[in-house]
Amino acid sequence: MKKQNSVKRMVLAAFFLALAYVMPFLTGQIPEIGARLCPMHIPVLLCGFFCGWGWGLAVGFIAPLLRSLTLGMPPLFPTALCMAFELSAYGTVSGWLHKKLPRKKLYIYFSLLIAMIIGRLVWGLAMFVFLGISGGSFTFAAFIAGAFTNAIPGIIVQIILIPILVMILDNPKITNLRD
């Protein structure tokens, strides 16, 4: 049974990676809209919730780099590299907290919000480091704009959509992924 669950998690993680790859097409490949709606974040967060922190980390790290290397969007440096760290934090934290906390509505929101905050902090740190290495600068105002102000529509979508999907699909009769 454990091996069967591992295969299910791997297949589901591949599905979430595919979603992270194609969902930005919904924004019409317009970077300004994609930056506001954060379409890659949703499948990565869901991957953490349903597949666990390890798969969430892997899918989160691979998704932006794969899109960048195959489609040129997002630009590899610094955007895709920083997103790789951000999204891997989302997948890791959401998966780890969801496993450790009771499977109740309040804790789903808690896990999501903590993952979103930590992921954004990781993104800001990565931007600060990568831009600093390249001779640029990353100000606190740029962090607030990039992590929060510009992403408000995506944050709202994530806060509404993800808990609903987790509550509906986190049913052993549907996914059968619980340990």
Q: What is the pLDDT of residues 52-67, one digit of tens each?
A: 999 999 999 999 999 9
Contacts with 168 (C-beta within 8 Å, 6 or more apart), sequence order: 174
87 contacts 17 by C-beta, under 8 angstroms = no
Q: Is the pLDDT of residue 179 over 80?
A: no
Where does 2-169 sit in CATH, by number? Answer: 1.10.1760.20
- In the structure, what pLDDT confidence band is assigned to residue 96 with cuts at 50, 70 and 90? very high
Contacts with 151 (C-beta within 8 Å, 6 or more apart), sequence order: 35, 36, 38
Question: pTM to 2 decimals?
Answer: 0.93
User: How high is the pLDDT of residue 33?
Assistant: 82
- Domain positions in the chain are 2-169
User: How high is the pLDDT of residue 29?
Assistant: 66
User: How high is the pLDDT of residue 32?
Assistant: 78
Q: Is the pLDDT of residue 26 over 70?
A: yes
Q: What is the pLDDT of residues 125-167, one digit of tens each?
A: 999 999 999 999 999 999 999 999 999 999 999 999 999 999 9
CA-to-CA separations, 36 to 78, 98, 132, in angstroms, rounded: 18, 26, 25
Q: Is the pLDDT of residue 87 over 90?
A: yes
DSSP 23: G
Q: Is the pLDDT of residue 86 over 80?
A: yes
CA-nearest of 73, 116, 68, 66 to 91 is 116
